[in-house]
């Protein structure tokens, strides 16, 4: 996107408030995951979400997005943030730095991937931690309480999502990734999303179990 265009300047003014607070007038097009999801639906397209465990991955993905004039999501899972070169603290800074080095004009979001909630203790710990991540500039969150029974998954997801600003992206999950034989059913998805909607929570993305599995294979 042309960094000198009127459209780009208008886009910068519409960035999420947490991003404007962090980046100020820097011409970095870090936008809400919710806006990216809406744009993708409108265009009938998909969005690449790339896990960025290494700083060089951030630069490579942003460079490709710029060359293809595509928007992209840079994501880091809660588990990855504990052992990788990228952390929740440094990814926003690195992404802004590399975007500027590439000449700007790259539209991207920052997605907190698979933020696992396995217990009430996790739930209580998540509220202040996610608030901090929002303040750092993350623009989308995946609440993953799928390890719990359906009812607890719904309640835990609801309780966390209510503390995430509505202008940011939200991903939720029903069904764990276990490989063949553990597929999410339509009924499970309808129960889950319907329950969240009844609390005025409207996710942008739904992660399901579709037969895939983790690892190299």
pLDDT digits (tens, 9 = 90+) for 154-170: 999 999 999 999 999 99
| Residue 214 confidence (pLDDT) above 80 | no
- DSSP-derived letter for residue 164 is S
> Nearest CA to 198 among 147, 146, 161?
161
Q: Which residue has the tokens 């739904």?
A: 206
Q: Is residue 77 part of a domain?
A: yes
Q: What is the CATH number of the domain that holds 113?
A: 3.20.20.70
pLDDT in tens, 19-54: 999 999 999 999 999 999 999 999 999 999 999 999
Residue 216 falls inside a structural domain: no
**C-beta separation of 26 from 62 below 8 A:** no
86 within 8 A of 93, measured Cβ to Cβ: no
Domain membership flag for residue 213: no
| In-domain check, residue 60 | yes
- Look at strands 169-174 and 140-144 and give their pairing: parallel
Cα(110)–Cα(47) distance, integer angstroms:
13
Range of the domain at 26: 6-208
Interval 92-103 mean pLDDT:
96
How many domains is the chain built from? 1
Please give the share of the chain, as a percent, with pLDDT higher than 70: 94
Q: Is residue 215 part of a domain?
A: no
Q: Is residue 214 part of a domain?
A: no
What is the rounded average pLDDT of the residues 61-78? 96
For residue 113, being part of any structural domain is answered with yes
**H-assigned helices in 24-161:** 33-43, 55-68, 91-101, 120-136, 150-161
């Amino acid at each position: 996107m042309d960094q000198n265009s009127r459209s780009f300047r208008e886009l910068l003014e519409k960035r999420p408030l947490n991003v404007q607070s962090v980046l100020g007038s820097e011409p970095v097009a870090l936008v809400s995951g919710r806006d990216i999801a809406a744009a993708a639906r409108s265009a009938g397209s998909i969005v690449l979400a790339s896990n960025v465990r290494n700083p060089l991955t951030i630069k490579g993905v942003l460079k490709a997005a710029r060359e293809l004039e595509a928007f992209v999501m840079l994501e880091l899972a809660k588990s990855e943030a504990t052992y990788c070169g990228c952390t929740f603290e440094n990814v926003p800074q690195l992404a802004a730095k590399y975007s500027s080095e590439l000449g700007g004009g790259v539209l991207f979001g920052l997605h907190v991937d698979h933020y696992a909630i396995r217990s009430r203790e996790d739930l209580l710990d998540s509220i202040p931690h996610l608030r901090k991540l929002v303040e750092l500039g993350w623009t989308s969150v995946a609440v993953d309480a799928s390890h719990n029974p359906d009812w607890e998954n719904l309640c835990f997801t609801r309780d966390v999502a209510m503390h995430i600003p509505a202008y940011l992206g939200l991903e939720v999950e029903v069904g764990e990734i276990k490989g063949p034989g553990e597929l999410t059913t339509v009924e499970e998805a309808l129960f889950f999303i319907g329950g969240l909607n009844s609390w005025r929570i409207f996710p942008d993305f739904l992660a399901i179990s579709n037969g895939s599995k983790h690892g190299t294979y």
